[in-house]
Copies of this chain bind each other. A is one copy, B any other.
């Protein structure tokens, strides 16, 4: 769970669904996009790449998934048989992870904040996809299998939509958006003096001394510049990501399974491969290590730290939750589930330099450090064609564009997009059949930029 930004295995550029709602063969996978192919194969086309199903045919409510008491057997979704991670089942399950797996709660704020709303007509905002096709905002939503999306401008909710199984008070699987929460908590602990980014990982987690992380610094982990033998390729059933998921109890284990029994065991067994502190390489294992470090340095569970440091101060309206591994640790790599509005509250906090009103919740320096981004050359080496000039810092993706926009990103289309210059925050949940965001980026990134430009033209 959580995970892929395709890194060196891809993604190639050039992907875009035609705006038509008709089933269309897409060349993206043939060009190397990493897909959730191991569990999503039924739609595979015959010409070297899979066809994407018409989004309109994948509404989980219309399809009858998990309706009735009990649901029909062929409409039942479970964790134990792996159906939870198949498409189109993910259109339901990403909205209901708690009903499928053990979770740890992050309680809503004692006094939830009120989000001012001022609905605007934005469906027609037009843009060109990365391949040059004309598209509107509304078309983008359907074509990228959006479950829910919210746009805030200058602190007001101006656009909010829920589709399929999504609902305002129903938390959605945030995938690797989780990592940005963990990275922010780590940076906050560092600002408090409770965590030293220059210290070796083993200062906090001695159990990792014989692993790849044995000679890495916390900073290397925070920026994903770790030399570790670990692959995150969804198209390859032998990829490390599946071992990670089995260790964490998210994928079912085969009979007689003898592998690692939890995240800690999995991480401690990862061997070194290549140097630390050099190229950026997106690997969920790093985020899971950072979560472990954060728990040790913070002296509390990730859930409790998130509640105290962010959820309560921003006035979150709903309980969030983490997926748990079998030993009782939260998945910091991709286990957070929250409602769209609470995600937007976090985005607003980052947009406002860490402040809620007059209260400095996150030190301004922490936010500035993230916005300024990481090493661009290190990032460029990873070869993301849809993310030219970007960088990565404290588990955030930084555009380094004129607006200084930055993002939290998770597979299948999860995102928080913060554009300080446009005073804009976009929170988005999705259940795209393709895991890698290279499948979303060619549509969503130009759409987000177009929305920012549109809003910057508005009168205040």
* A3 CB contacts on chain B under 8 angstroms: none
Q: Closest residue to A112 on the B side, CB-wise? A: B110
Report the copy number of this chain in the oligomer: 2
Q: Is the CB of B105 within 8 A of A102?
A: no
Which residue, of A80, A292, A328, has the highest number of chain B Cβ atoms within 10 A?
A: A328
The stretch of A64-72, A124-132, A362-370 that contacts the partner chain: A64-72
B76, A102: Cβ atoms closer than 8 Å: no
Q: Is the CB of A102 within 8 A of B104?
A: no
Give the docked Cα–Cα distance between A69 and B264 (Å): 8
Contacts A101-B102, A107-B318, A169-B107; A262 near B70 (Cβ below 8 A): yes
Judge if A56 is at the interface, Cβ distance under 8 Å: no
Could you tell me which residues of chain A, from 287 to 318, have a CB within 8 Å of some CB in chain B? 292, 295-296, 301, 318
Contact among B69, B101, B105 for A319, CB-based, below 8 A: B105
Q: Which residues of B contact A79 (CB under 8 A)?
A: 102
In the complex, A324 has a CB within 8 A of chain B: yes
- Give the residues in chain B near A30, CB-CB below 8 Å: none
Residues of B within 8 Å of A326, CB to CB, are 78, 80
The 8 Å CB contact of A328, one of B76, B105, B263, is B76
**Does residue A193 face the partner (Cβ distance < 8 Å to B)?**
no
- Residue A69 contacts which of B77, B80, B108, B292 (CB distance < 8 angstroms)? B292
Report the nearest B residue to A330, measured CB to CB.
B69
User: Smallest distance from the beta carbon of A173 to chain B beta carbons, Å?
Assistant: 14
Q: Are B264 and A70 in contact (CB under 8 A)?
A: yes
* Closest B residue by C-beta to A80: B326
A103 located at the interface, meaning its Cβ lies under 8 Å from any Cβ of chain B in the complex: yes
- Minimum CB–CB distance for A267 against chain B, Å: 11
CA distance A329 to B67 in the complex (A): 10
Interface centre among A70, A169, A255 (most CB of B within 10 A): A70
A78 to B327, CA, bound (A): 8
Among residues 49 to 102 in chain A, which have CB atoms less than 8 Å away from a CB atom of chain B? Answer: 66, 69-71, 76-80, 98-102
Separation of A327 and B83 alpha carbons in the complex (Å): 12
Asked, given contacts A105-B319, A255-B255, whether A70 binds B329 with beta carbons under 8 Å apart, the answer is yes
Q: Which residue from B77, B100, B102 sits with its C-beta under 8 Å from A98? A: B102
For A262, list chain B residues within 8 Å (CB): 70
Would A99 and B107 count as touching, CB distance under 8 A?
A: no
A354–chain B nearest beta-carbon distance, Å:
26
State which size class the interface on A falls in: 35 or more
Verify A70–B107 contact, CB threshold 8 A: no
Write out the residue numbers on chain B whose beta carbons fall within 8 Å of the beta carbon of A80.
326
Task: Name the B residues within 8 Å of A107 (CB-CB).
Answer: 169, 318-319
Residues in B whose Cβ lies below 8 Å from that of A71: 327-328
Compute how far the CA of A80 lies from the CA of B262 in the bound complex, rounded to whole angstroms. 13
For A102, the chain B residues whose CB sits under 8 A away are 79, 98-102
Q: Are B105 and A108 in contact (CB under 8 A)?
A: no
Contact A295–B98 (Cβ < 8 Å): no
Q: In the complex, what residues of B have CB within 8 A of residue A255's CB?
A: 255
Q: Render A319-336 as a binary contact track against B, CB cut-off 8 A, 1 for contact.
A: 100001111110000000
User: Known contacts A70-B264, A329-B70: does B108 contact A104 (CB below 8 Å)?
Assistant: no
Are A99 and B103 CB-contacts (below 8 A) given A70-B327, A71-B327, A327-B76? yes
A328 adjacent to B103 (CB under 8 Å): no
Residues of A within 8 A of B (CB): 66, 69-71, 76-80, 98-105, 107-108, 169, 255, 262-264, 292, 295-296, 301, 318-319, 324-329
Q: Which 6 A-B pairs give the minimum distances between C-beta atoms?
A: A70-B327, A69-B295, A70-B264, A319-B319, A99-B104, A70-B329
Interface contacts beyond A66-B328, A98-B104, A105-B319: sample of 11 additional A-B pairs, CB < 8 Å, sorted by A: A69-B295, A70-B263, A70-B327, A70-B328, A70-B329, A71-B327, A76-B327, A76-B328, A98-B103, A107-B169, A108-B319
Q: List 22 A-B contacts (CB under 8 A).
A: A66-B328, A69-B264, A69-B329, A70-B263, A70-B327, A70-B328, A76-B327, A76-B328, A80-B326, A98-B102, A98-B103, A98-B104, A99-B102, A99-B103, A99-B328, A100-B102, A102-B102, A105-B319, A107-B319, A108-B319, A255-B255, A319-B319
